[in-house]
Amino acid sequence: MKTVDIQVHEVTRVEGHGNIVLRAKDGTVEECKLEITEAPRFFEAMLKDRSWWEASFITCRICGICSVGHTTASLKATEAAMDVEISEQTLLLRKILFYAEQLQSHILHTYFLVAPDQFKVGSVIPLASTHPDVVRRALRLKKLANELCGIIAGRHVHPQATVVGGFTRIPTMDELKMARQMLLDAEPDMKATVELFAGLTWPDFTRETEYVALSTEDEYAFYDGTLSSSDGQSVTASNYKEIIHEKIVPHSTAKHAFHNRESYMVGALARYNLNHKELRAEARNAAKKLGLKAPCHNPYMISVAQVVECVHCFYEAIDLVDQLLEKGLKPEVPNVKPKAGRGVGLAEVPRGLLVHDYTYNERGLITDANCIIPTAQNLGNIDRDIRAIAPQIIDRPKEEIRLLLEMLVRAYDPCISCSVHLLDIKFV
Amino acid sequence: MKPRLAFISFASCEGCQLMFLNLEDEILKLLDAVEVADFREAMTERSDKYDVAFVEGSITRPSDEQKLKEIRERASVLIAFGACACTGGVNRMKNLHDLSAVRSYVYGDKKDWFETSACKALDEVVKVDHYIRGCPVSKREILEVVKSLLFGRPPAIPEYPVCIECKLAENVCVFQKGMVCLGPITRAGCDPMCPSYGNRCIGCRGLIDNPNKNAALSVLEEHGLTVEDILREFTIFQAYAEEKK
């Protein structure tokens, strides 16, 4: 019987700071935990007394990687609070921007953070000499996503043109045509990405859990939808607290999220399990090639679901650009009259469900704010996955255990600085 | 020998590190010229032996002050990387509230569980050699600073306000559109991205050295405004200026 003591200080290739600890004595797991050591930033407190127009520019800075996601949820919350209707043109532009961020984030995660484990190297840097075609393709796709964001909103990290009610600048028709051409030129890269990931194998581990995501009948939900659980029940945005229950547990300084069970999963695999029927045909074919079948209970397959979503977002973006090119673009001036009220904005950002919930006074200043981040919702589920897999792998060589645990945490694509936007987390 | 770079982050969104990874056209060539010794967000191999530290984020708890001092001892060049590191950035808004009240609002009766202190910029703790400003940093300035280190010359960072770049970009002045903008007193170097995309400058790069004595102030005079008037409109990146009052 084996005694193991594994401490991964600051898991690499994740966003933010976290440690994995696993201690087993005589073959029995005594302690396993994911410690989050990120510095808390107190965004909710900082939002108090800030003006309606500032909210999205402040909260997008919770996270550099999902900046567009935070912007979107924030704008939706403020628009809901102030009864602001957005035009169809704004909706289409926002969706393209949103899909471009999914692509940027998933490509970064699958190629730069996950793939090195598959090639048995520590980062993408050695791959630049051993697999230059793979690295160059990843960079081309990342650049495509960044440039699409640039055309729609100025830039990906903290976009400038996105404001309550619409945009401060509308792209030109020429820019949209350029966006279309860039997408079409990248189609071979998108196909090669599916081929690459279809050739990889993933650790064999399953643990059935509850899956939570937005859902709609007309499309694979990213921008909007009703909040739904695989255990049944779906609610509208303003009733999100009926599904997302937060509790303070003695061993954790973070509020854990739960609904029907001890924990649930959000993100690409949760979306896939709930909404796979709404995927575009191209993405459904990709899922087939990649060996992803719903329902899938293997958390390591989150990365595969991300590749499927890349394909979906890629073709969806082309369609939306085509729609805008056909309709033509017209200048619009956002019209907002600040008023008192509460608004909730939900969106499916790369790592899962994001909630922004603001209350405004009659001067349009925030009196109360709450943001619930995907990674914070996933932390309880990661913890339970670690507890479930640890006894199954405890007899393997220490380095292999360490790698499997790191890969598990990495699979969730945790965005730790996001999740610790307000809290310091430790759970044992 | 290639200089060894480290990317280290404190309280931040890690968006500035992402901007480094977003140098898609240049990154492979860049990696021929430098060695990356530590980049937790992107690589597993890590080393404490480095020459140049790109430090992102602000210092928000006592234990991080100690970590930063250790980084300062190891690195021959320490670069404050992005607004959070240069001025405290958005994190600094916390300092405008009573710290005890902030903790209670977020943590309730558990507020004493957590270590936190007033937000500081890096140069309030250690000596900083270079500043790459902005939220996020501009890719052009990352390249400029790396090149200057390789060639052993000081980096060329603008000392003039955003207004100058806005005129060169032939943007319609934000004030003429009836809005208030921090361009006249904010350090340039961003290719006036916000005004170019129809928005206002929110001052993410921090104030120029002498905001009250610069040529762009005439814009404010024309509209009957003072430096204090426009600073009041924008707290997001100006908490550090408000604190100094």
Q: Do the Cβ atoms of A142 and B22 come within 8 Å?
A: yes
Give the total number of structural domains in chain B. 2
End-to-end CA distance of chain B: 47
Of A128, A155, A418, the CB nearest to B31: A128
User: How much is the pLDDT for A255?
Assistant: 66
Peptide linkage before B161 cis (omega within 30 of 0): no
Q: Per-residue pLDDT averaged across A90-95, rounded?
A: 98
Q: Per-residue pLDDT averaged across B137-156, rounded?
A: 93
Indicate if the pLDDT at residue A267 is higher than 90. Answer: yes
- Which residues of chain A make contact with B198, given a CB cutoff of 8 A? 160-161, 167-169
User: How much is the pLDDT for A323?
Assistant: 98
Q: Per-residue pLDDT averaged across A296-305, rounded?
A: 98
Of A417, A422, A424, the CB nearest to B12: A417
Measured between CA atoms, the residue of chain B closest to residue A367 is B105
Question: Is B120 a member of any domain?
Answer: yes
pLDDT digits (tens, 9 = 90+) for B147-181: 999 999 999 989 899 999 999 999 999 999 988 89
Lowest-confidence segment of A161-175, A369-383, A414-428 by average pLDDT: A414-428
Q: How far is B66 from chain A (nearest CA, A)?
A: 14
Q: How far is A412 from chain B (nearest CA, A)?
A: 15
Same structural domain for residues B135 and B176? Answer: no
Last residue of a domain, one of B151, B173, B195: B151
Same structural domain for residues B147 and B239? Answer: no
Q: Among all chains, which residue has been given the structure tokens 């640039």? A: A150
Q: What percent of chain A has pLDDT over 70?
A: 93
Can you say whether the dihedral through the CA atoms of A145, A87, A216, A214 is positive or negative?
positive
Count CA atoms closer than 13 A to B193's CA, side-chain side.
26
Question: Is B71 a member of any domain?
Answer: yes
Q: Rounded mean pLDDT of chain A?
A: 91
B residues 107-126 lying closer than 8 A (beta carbon) to A: 107, 110, 113-116
Of B44, B60, B236, the CB nearest to A13: B44
Peptide linkage before B136 cis (omega within 30 of 0): yes
Residue pair B182/B164 in contact by the 8 Å Cβ criterion? no
**Distance separating alpha carbons of residues B114 and B157, to the nearest angstrom:** 38
Same structural domain for residues B145 and B167? Answer: no
**Distance separating alpha carbons of residues B67 and B131, to the nearest angstrom:** 19
Q: Do the Cβ atoms of B21 and A142 come within 8 Å?
A: yes
Higher pLDDT, A412 or B103: A412
Last residue of a domain, one of B118, B151, B184: B151
Residue at B161: amino acid letter: P
Q: Per-residue pLDDT averaged across B196-217, rounded?
A: 88
Same structural domain for residues B137 and B173? Answer: no
ipTM of the complex in this document = 0.92
Same structural domain for residues B134 and B173? Answer: no
Question: Is B224 a member of any domain?
Answer: yes
User: How much is the pLDDT for A423?
Assistant: 37
Same structural domain for residues B88 and B195? Answer: no
Nearest Cα to B228, choosing from B184, B174, B167? Answer: B184
pLDDT digits (tens, 9 = 90+) for A49-88: 899 999 999 999 999 999 999 999 999 999 999 999 999 9
Higher pLDDT, A1 or A391: A391
Same structural domain for residues B136 and B228? Answer: no
Q: Predicted confidence band at A10 (pLDDT cuts at 50, 70, 90)? A: confident
User: How much is the pLDDT for B85?
Assistant: 97
Nearest Cα to A336, choosing from A94, A152, A80? Answer: A80
User: How much is the pLDDT for A424?
Assistant: 33
Q: Do the Cβ atoms of B42 and A123 come within 8 Å?
A: yes
Q: Per-residue pLDDT averaged across A270-294, rounded?
A: 98
Containing structural domain, residue B122: 4-151
Last residue of a domain, one of B125, B151, B177: B151
Same structural domain for residues B141 and B169? Answer: no
Question: Is B40 a member of any domain?
Answer: yes
**Distance separating alpha carbons of residues A94 and A130, to the nearest angstrom:** 38
Q: Does A373 touch chain B (CB under 8 A)?
A: no
Lowest-confidence segment of A116-130, B21-35, B126-140 by average pLDDT: A116-130
Higher pLDDT, A333 or A24: A333
- CA A164 to chain CA centroid, nearest Å: 22
Q: Per-residue pLDDT averaged across B33-48, rounded?
A: 82
Question: Is B156 a member of any domain?
Answer: no
**Distance separating alpha carbons of residues B154 and B122, to the nearest angstrom:** 20
User: How much is the pLDDT for B115?
Assistant: 67
Q: How far is B45 from chain A (nearest CA, A)?
A: 6
Measured between CA atoms, the residue of chain A closest to residue B136 is A157
Question: Is B157 a member of any domain?
Answer: no
**Distance separating alpha carbons of residues A360 and A367, to the nearest angstrom:** 6
Of A13, A123, A158, the CB nearest to B135: A158
Nearest Cα to B161, choosing from B119, B111, B211? Answer: B211
**Distance separating alpha carbons of residues B154 and B31, to the nearest angstrom:** 21
Lowest-confidence segment of A91-100, A161-170, A240-249, B134-143 by average pLDDT: A240-249
- Which residues of chain A make contact with B235, given a CB cutoff of 8 A? 50, 54
CB-based contacts of B203, cutoff 8 Å, min separation 6: B182, B185, B186, B234, B236, B237, B238
Q: What percent of chain B has pLDDT over 90?
A: 61
User: How much is the pLDDT for B44?
Assistant: 74
Q: Do the Cβ atoms of A157 and B40 come within 8 Å?
A: no
Of A54, A62, A168, the CB nearest to B198: A168
Strand locations in A259-402 (E): 264-265, 341-349, 352-360, 366-372
**Distance separating alpha carbons of residues B25 and B40, to the nearest angstrom:** 22
Q: Predicted confidence band at B99 (pLDDT cuts at 50, 70, 90)? A: confident
Same structural domain for residues B47 and B97? Answer: yes
CB-based contacts of A404, cutoff 8 Å, min separation 6: A203, A389, A393, A396
Same structural domain for residues B11 and B119? Answer: yes
Indicate if the pLDDT at residue A420 is higher than 60. Answer: no
Indicate if the pLDDT at residue B210 is higher than 80. Answer: yes
Question: Is B220 a member of any domain?
Answer: yes
Q: Per-residue pLDDT averaged across A341-366, rounded?
A: 96
Q: For the whole model, what pTM was predicted?
A: 0.94
Work out whether strand B77-81 and strand B130-132 pair parallel, antiparallel, or are unpaired: parallel
Rounded to a whole number, what is the largest CA-CA distance in chain A? 71
Higher pLDDT, A368 or A252: A368
Measured between CA atoms, the residue of chain B closest to residue A105 is B18
**Interface mutation vs chain B, best among A9, A12, A127, most B CBs within 10 Å:** A12
Q: What percent of chain A has pLDDT over 90?
A: 72
CB-based contacts of B98, cutoff 8 Å, min separation 6: none
CATH number, domain with residue B118 = 3.40.50.700
Q: Per-residue pLDDT averaged across B27-50, rounded?
A: 85
Q: Per-residue pLDDT averaged across B82-104, rounded?
A: 87
User: How much is the pLDDT for A388?
Assistant: 93
Q: Do the Cβ atoms of A161 and B57 come within 8 Å?
A: no
Same structural domain for residues B144 and B47? Answer: yes
Same structural domain for residues B181 and B91? Answer: no
Q: Predicted confidence band at B100 (pLDDT cuts at 50, 70, 90)? A: confident
Question: Is B187 a member of any domain?
Answer: yes
